[in-house]
């Protein structure tokens, strides 16, 4: 049989043990809280950077189109993407030297057909050959 003194003593030990555990874990919880705040800040920074990258024409780091003899600048060719329209390609590379039209259309940017060529299939850019 447990007497009230033993019960009180047992309850006191349990309470002290629980309090000690809480006090011991408080610095750890504070460190976790700081770490969580830091991670949340990093996630927000990453979201902002991603939004800037995805926003058309808003990134100051985006490559610039060379305006004179655009087709001669390899950086302009490297901005080409499959599926671009005639106007989008013209904006990057300028007017072609010669065009062979049809379902498959070839734009030649030099007098040599194997060099500096854009190929369109059904009016969309399909392939190209850099100078």
1 and 52 co-located in one domain: yes
3 and 37 co-located in one domain: yes
Largest Cα separation within the chain, whole Å, is 107
pLDDT tens for 90-103 read: 999 999 989 998 88
| Comparison of pLDDT for 65 and 73, the residue scoring more | 73
The CA-CA-CA angle for residues 71, 72, 75, to 5°, reads: 80
Say yes or no to pLDDT of 24 above 80.
no
82 and 45 co-located in one domain: no
pLDDT tens for 39-70 read: 777 776 666 666 666 655 555 555 554 445 88
53 and 89 co-located in one domain: no
74 and 26 co-located in one domain: no
Domain count, the chain: 2
84 and 33 co-located in one domain: no
Domain ranges, residue 110 = 70-129
């Amino acid at each position: 049989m447990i007497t009230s003194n033993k019960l009180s003593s047992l309850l006191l030990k349990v309470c002290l043990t629980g309090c000690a555990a809480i006090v011991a874990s408080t610095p750890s919880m504070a460190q976790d809280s700081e770490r969580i705040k830091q991670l949340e800040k990093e996630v927000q920074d990453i979201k902002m950077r991603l939004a800037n990258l995805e926003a058309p024409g808003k990134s100051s780091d985006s490559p610039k189109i060379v305006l004179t003899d655009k087709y001669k600048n390899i950086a302009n060719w490297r901005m080409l993407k499959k599926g671009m329209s005639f106007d989008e390609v013209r904006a990057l590379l300028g007017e072609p030297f010669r065009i062979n039209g049809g379902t498959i259309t070839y734009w030649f940017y030099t007098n040599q057909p194997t060099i500096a060529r854009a190929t369109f299939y059904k009016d969309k850019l399909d392939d190209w050959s850099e100078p």
